[in-house]
Amino acid sequence: MNVLIYIESENGAPKKSALEAVAYGAEIAKGQVVALASSDTATADLGNYGADKVLQFAVSGKLEASQVAELVAQAAEAQNAEVVIFAKSILNDLAAPMVGIKLGASVASNVIEKPDFSKGFVVKRSVFSGKAFTEVALNNAKKVLTIKKNAVAMTEKGKTAAVESFSPAITASPVQIKETTQKTGDILLTDADIVVSGGRGLKGPEHWGMIEELAKTLHAATGCSKPVSDMDWRPHHEHVGQTGIKVSPNLYVAVGISGAIQHLAGVSSSKTIVVINKDADAPFFKAADYGIVGDAFDIIPKLTEALKKAM
Amino acid sequence: MKILICISHVPDTNAKIPFKDGKPDLAGLTFVIAPYDDFALARAVELRDQTAGKLTVLCVGKAETEATIRKALAIGADDAIRVDAEPTDAFFVATQIADIAKKNQYDMILTGRESSDYNGGQVHGMVAAMLGIPCVVPCMKLDLNGNVATMYREIEGGKEVVQLPTPFVAGCQEPIAEWKIPNMRGIMTAKSKPLQVVQPVGVTVATQVASYEVPAPRGNCKMIDAGNVAHLVEMLKSEAKVI
Ligand SMILES: Cc1cc2nc3c(=O)[nH]c(=O)nc-3n(C[C@H](O)[C@H](O)[C@H](O)COP(=O)(O)OP(=O)(O)OC[C@H]3O[C@@H](n4cnc5c(N)ncnc54)[C@H](O)[C@@H]3O)c2cc1C
Ligand SMILES: Nc1ncnc2c1ncn2[C@@H]1O[C@H](COP(=O)(O)O)[C@@H](O)[C@H]1O
């Protein structure tokens, strides 16, 4: 069983989530582990995390999801890949179901663990906005998975991947990009090992300096609750929860967020949750591992100081 | 413009999901239009008004979904189609939507970014691939000028302005429009708007739910004294091992 992994890269390097996807592929492959990456992507890490081979395609601008789907489907056929793996991302979440249709594959998104082969090809995924998990059997011969962060432990294999070039036939997309506004250099919410989020308890956008300072100290991404992005205190892409981004970092720090069920839906698969809230009865404490009852304006600067000393 | 809005019928987002015999026991819950689909519906109504077009709401579901479909009619859809089947997975649902779209040639098909039960985020992409038309997701703003749409699409860390001609599929999210609440007149007229029930087309079963599991509750939250934040740092280092 060959496995194909689509690699998203940033500034010439594979995204961390893409390396996780390679590690996942290496764990489950019974044949070749093939990574599909643009020709300007560094290949060393792909081999190191388990790719036997890197297929390189020439890039010409940004690809639409439909074009990624064409590229991936052609590579999967050329490489006889039975399983195609994507790391969860906005683009990949759309490309994966499209690849599924092209290949006649069973598709599963938000996969959180390695497949259980004892029952066929069964994957565990989160449903009901994180309120439950389900095991899903993928019946078709081919499978397409998008995996969530932390679905597999990353182990370095120290391999060197063979590099081959690949020239797919890609159709032009009717979607024209007119303008892009993107903050670069920040750690992406979905990629971050640590996320620090602020809620309405912070009273106004002018108070986010201390949240950013804390996040910087922890090498964390910043997030927020829905009302905070609704009021434009923070950009929409930072909004975490049922109707926002779903994160599964190692550490989630929630400051001045009450812990409404819709917010929890976006964070419940975090490994460790820390809640700082001045109300001891805030529901978030019930979903947390560590809590501090107190005023954020007092605690956050002190916490940042303590972290600076300790790290 | 002929607009199709696809809605999923899901438990209210405030609800805890009860489990019985290893399965979600949804009988006692209140059902709603999934939140993202509700945003898409709100914008669809506005675009229908703006273009003096026609808005059809589609739901793949058994008879119990009709109250939810009527709510979409009350909010402003002109007519409705219900595909009379259990929505077993995204491939099944997408096949039904694509079949209806082929017969009716909509200018645009709006969906939510994802449902709030399966959370697959797959149906729109599958429909677009089946019909061979573009798909934009997550779509946060959608304006029409003739048959050209201008959209804001969220990307990691920002957004993009994109333009494309109809027909297309768009998976919507806030702030595309404000959720609309049906008014009295809407509720009254919804009762007499046409709701057509159609039989599903046959589909090979791509995925099957084998079992459900409820997430393990977190251990008791360890409370740390506000005067001793250094203790939290210690715990995160030595006990949780996350920093
Ligand atoms: C369909 C639907 C979907 C939704 N989707 C989402 C979603 O995706 N994400 C989301 O976040 N919400 C979502 N919501 C909204 C959600 O229900 C809550 O309203 C929201 O999460 C509350 O945000 P908050 O905790 O920031 O604000 P609040 O509920 O106002 O809580 C503020 C908290 O800050 C605390 N506080 C105040 N001052 C201080 C201080 N000085 N120091 C420390 N703590 C302080 C208060 O004790 C309180 O607990 C959704 C709602 C619906 C109906
Ligand atoms: N049973 C259904 N009937 C009609 N539309 C649906 C159904 N299920 C999902 N959809 C639409 O497809 C979108 C994506 O759903 P999903 O792939 O389940 O996350 C939803 O936001 C709805 O707009």
Q: Token digits for A37?
A: 């990456």
Q: Is B127 in the pocket of ligand 2 (CB under 6 A)?
A: no
Domain boundaries, chain A: 2-165, 189-310
Would A2-165 and A189-310 be classified into the same CATH topology? yes
Q: Which residues from chain B sit within 8 angstroms of residue A137, using beta carbons?
A: 207-210
Report pLDDT digits (tens) over B96-111: 999 999 999 999 999 9
- Cβ contact A253:A267 at 8 Å: no
B242 domain residue, yes or no? no
Structure confidence at residue A184 (pLDDT): 72
- A311 pLDDT band, cuts 50/70/90, is confident
Q: Is A10 in the pocket of ligand 1 (CB under 6 A)?
A: no
What is the domain range of residue B42?
Answer: 2-210
B223 domain residue, yes or no? no
Q: Give the distance, in angstroms, between the CA of residue A206 and the centroid of all CA atoms in the same chain.
A: 29
Instruction: Choose the CATH number for A2-165 among 3.40.640.10, 3.90.480.20, 3.40.50.620, 3.20.20.110.
Output: 3.40.50.620
| Calpha distance A165→A54 (Å, rounded) | 8
**CATH assignment of the domain containing B200:** 3.40.50.620
Q: What SS3 class is residue B54?
A: strand
Q: Is B124 in the pocket of ligand 2 (CB under 6 A)?
A: yes
B95 domain residue, yes or no? yes
Structure confidence at residue A9 (pLDDT): 93
Outline where chain B has alpha helix (H): 35-51, 66-75, 90-104, 123-131, 184-190, 229-234
H helix or E strand, kind and range, residue A21? helix A16-28
Q: What's the CA-to-centroid distance between A199 and ligand 1, angstroms?
A: 6
**Whether the predicted pLDDT of B117 surpasses 90:** no
Total domains in chain B come to: 1
- B18 pLDDT band, cuts 50/70/90, is confident
- A211 pLDDT band, cuts 50/70/90, is very high
Q: Token digits for B3?
A: 């607009």
Are B213 and A134 in contact (CB < 8 Å)?
Answer: yes
**Whether the predicted pLDDT of B116 surpasses 80:** no
ipTM: 0.91
Ligand 2 probe mutation, B4, B5, B6, most atoms within 8 A of CB: B6
Would you tell me which residues 195-224 of chain B have a C-beta closer than 8 angstroms to some C-beta of chain A?
A: 204-215, 218-219, 221-224
Total-model pTM: 0.90
Q: At what angle do helices A208-218 and A296-310 cross, to 10 degrees?
A: 20
Report the percentage of chain A scoring pLDDT > 70: 100
Structure confidence at residue B223 (pLDDT): 97
- A269 pLDDT band, cuts 50/70/90, is confident
What is A189-310's CATH number? Answer: 3.40.50.1220
